[in-house]
């Protein structure tokens, strides 16, 4: 009887999988489409009681205004540079630390991970203000390195937690086999462990880059004259400019798609299979 129920449940899952996939894909894609639609539509299509779903009066005017305003490229350059540097430094710092934590005894490892999570219990607003005061004394306000350091405070515990889980699933026997063949621990780490951890490192890098790219609180406290792209979107939202806001928000999503596509080839669930065999 139970096997019959399992077969029926399996058939229901098989039948409903693609409709549910299409449904949830539409839920995620429709807001993006509306964002793009507003950025390339004339006001007559948007500022009305019953706006149409499809684009009727196409225009590049809003994009031209944003691209020629002189405010886009400094904000884009700052956001991209800070996000990239944050991801690079986070990987360099967290990868060896996560490897060491993953090889600790279970009780010690559990305490260390809880300590990492403890640092995330405090809201960013409560941390950003004292950081801004300290950075003001150190002349790090409105600088790339100041914003990178602030982002690392938020991202390092997160990326370390992800990478600890990544290194935990890599068998210690792989390292021992390499060291039996004459490799040092460092060589085993660089030649065996890191390549097999590449999918997890790629995921961690992607998350850190996206979090830094979209970060708002620290940028608000630490930016005086040069805004980041999220601050530019916030600026136009306060001004009530629907079309410029939609255009900036659309531009904000383009690097996200590019970076995700660039790292996609590393996101393989069976990456470790060949090494274990």
Residue-wise pLDDT tens digits, 151-170? 998 899 989 988 998 888 88
Q: What's the pLDDT score for residue 200? A: 86
Q: Is the pTM of this model over 0.75?
A: yes
Would you tell me how many other CB atoms lie within 10 Å of the CB of residue 50? 4
- Kindly report, residue by residue over 172-202, the tens digit of the pLDDT: 888 778 777 777 777 887 888 888 888 888 8
**Torsion angle, alpha carbons of 55, 59, 61, 64, to 10:** 100
- Kindly report, residue by residue over 213-260, the tens digit of the pLDDT: 999 999 999 988 888 889 888 887 777 678 888 888 888 888 888 887
For the chain, the straight-line distance linking the first and the last C-alpha, in angstroms and rounded, comes to 38
Q: What's the pLDDT score for residue 80? A: 93
Tracing tokens 């992607």 back to the chain, one arrives at: 206
Helices (H), the chain: 2-39, 43-46, 61-67, 72-102, 106-118, 124-137, 144-168, 172-180, 185-188, 194-196, 198-214, 217-222, 229-239, 242-263, 273-276
- Kindly report, residue by residue over 44-95, the tens digit of the pLDDT: 888 888 888 888 888 998 898 888 888 888 889 999 999 999 999 999 999 9
Out of 11-15, 19-23, 66-70, pick the least confident. Answer: 11-15
Q: Is the dihedral of CA 232, 238, 239, 242 positive or negative?
A: positive
């Amino acid at each position: 009887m139970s096997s019959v129920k399992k077969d029926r449940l399996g058939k229901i899952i098989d039948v409903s999988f693609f409709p549910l996939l299409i449904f949830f894909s539409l839920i995620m894609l429709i807001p993006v489409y509306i964002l793009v639609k507003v950025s390339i539509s004339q006001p007559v299509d948007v500022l009305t009681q019953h706006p149409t779903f499809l684009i009727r009066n196409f225009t590049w005017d809003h994009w031209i205004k944003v691209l020629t305003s002189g405010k886009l490229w400094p904000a884009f350059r700052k956001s991209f540079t800070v996000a990239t540097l944050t991801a690079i430094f986070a990987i360099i710092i967290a990868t060896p630390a996560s490897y060491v934590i993953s090889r600790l005894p279970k009780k010690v490892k559990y305490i260390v991970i809880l300590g990492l999570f403890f640092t995330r219990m405090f809201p960013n607003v409560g941390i950003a203000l004292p950081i801004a005061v300290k950075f003001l004394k150190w002349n790090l306000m409105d600088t790339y390195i100041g914003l990178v350091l602030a982002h690392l405070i938020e991202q390092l515990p997160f990326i370390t937690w992800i990478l600890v889980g990544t290194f935990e699933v890599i068998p210690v026997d792989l390292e021992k086999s390499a060291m039996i063949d004459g490799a040092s621990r460092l060589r085993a780490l660089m030649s065996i462990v890191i390549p097999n951890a590449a999918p997890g490192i790629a995921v961690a890098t992607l998350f850190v880059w996206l979090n830094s790219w979209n970060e708002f609180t620290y940028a608000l406290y630490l930016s005086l004259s040069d805004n980041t792209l999220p601050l530019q979107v916030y600026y136009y939202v306060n001004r009530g400019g629907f079309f410029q806001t939609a255009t900036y928000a659309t531009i904000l999503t383009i690097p996200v798609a590019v970076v995700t596509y660039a790292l996609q080839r590393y996101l393989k669930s069976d990456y470790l299979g060949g090494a274990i065999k």
